[in-house]
Structure 1
Amino acid sequence: MFCDGLWLILHNKIHLGTVLPLLLGFVLLIHAIFYRSIQHFLAQKVQLKVLYQWAWGGFLLWLISVAVFFAYIHQHTQQQNTEQTVQAIIILGSGIQNGQPSPTLAKRLDQGAELAQQQTKAILIVTGGIGYTEKQTEAEIMAKYLYQQYNIPLQRIYLEDKSTSTELNLLNSKTILKYQNIPLSAPIAIVTSDFHTLRAAAIAKKLGYQNVIMSSAETPLNTRYNAWLREYFAFISGWILQEY
Structure 2
Amino acid sequence: MLDTTILMTRHNFGFGVTFPFCVGIGLLGMALQWQNLHVWLNQKKHRLQLWQLLWTGTGIWLSTVVAFFYFIQAGHDINIKTIRQPVRTILVLGGGTRDCLPRPTLAERLDLAFEWAQRLPDTKIVVSGGLDPDEQCTEAQVMANYLHQHGLPENRLLQEGKSTNTFENLAFSKQVMSEHGISTDDGLLIVTSDFHSVRSRQIALKAGFNNLASAGAETPLSVRYNSWLREYFSFVRGWIVGDY
Structure 2-normalised TM-score?
0.90
Q: What is the match of residue 47 of structure 1?
A: 46
CA distance in 2, matches of 1:42, 1:190: 52
| Mapping of residues 126-141 of structure 1, within 5 Å | 126-131=127-132, 133-141=134-142
Question: What percent of counterpart residues are identical?
Answer: 39
| Mapping of residues 4-15 of structure 1, within 5 Å | 4-15=3-14
Deviations 1:8-34, CA, capped at 9 Å, x for gaps: 223221122112211222232333444
Q: What is the match of residue 101 of structure 1?
A: 102
SS of alignment partner, residue 87 of structure 1: strand
Q: What is the match of residue 58 of structure 2?
A: 59
CA distance in 2, matches of 1:83, 1:40: 64
CA distance in 2, matches of 1:220, 1:147: 23
CA distance in 2, matches of 1:110, 1:128: 16
Distance 1:32-1:132 versus aligned 2 partners, 3 A rule: closer
Q: What is the match of residue 70 of structure 2?
A: 71
Deviations 1:60-117, CA, capped at 9 Å, x for gaps: 001001111111111233x542456521100011221011111111111011111111
Q: Does 1:158 align with 2:162?
A: no
Q: Does 1:145 align with 2:143?
A: no
| CA-atom RMSD in angstroms | 1.9
CA distance in 2, matches of 1:184, 1:159: 17
| Mapping of residues 139-218 of structure 1, within 5 Å | 139-149=140-150, 151-218=151-218
SS of alignment partner, residue 222 of structure 1: helix
Please report how far the alpha carbon of residue 140 of structure 1 lies from its aligned counterpart in structure 2 after TM superposition: 1.7
CA distance in 2, matches of 1:134, 1:9: 17
Counterpart amino acid of residue 178 in structure 2? K
Q: Answer whether contact 1:91 1:127 (CA < 8 A) is retained.
A: yes
Counterpart amino acid of residue 195 in structure 2? F
Q: Answer whether contact 1:93 1:138 (CA < 8 A) is retained.
A: yes
CA distance in 1, matches of 2:140, 2:217: 18
Counterpart amino acid of residue 164 in structure 2? T
CA distance in 1, matches of 2:90, 2:174: 12
Q: Answer whether contact 2:90 2:125 (CA < 8 A) is retained.
A: yes
CA distance in 2, matches of 1:37, 1:164: 45
SS of alignment partner, residue 87 of structure 2: coil
Please report how far the alpha carbon of residue 142 of structure 1 lies from its aligned counterpart in structure 2 after TM superposition: 0.8
- Structure 1 window deviating more from structure 2 (203-212 vs 152-161): it is 152-161
Q: What is the match of residue 79 of structure 2?
A: 81
CA distance in 1, matches of 2:138, 2:47: 53
Q: Answer whether contact 2:80 2:212 (CA < 8 A) is retained.
A: no
CA distance in 2, matches of 1:47, 1:136: 54
CA distance in 2, matches of 1:138, 1:124: 14
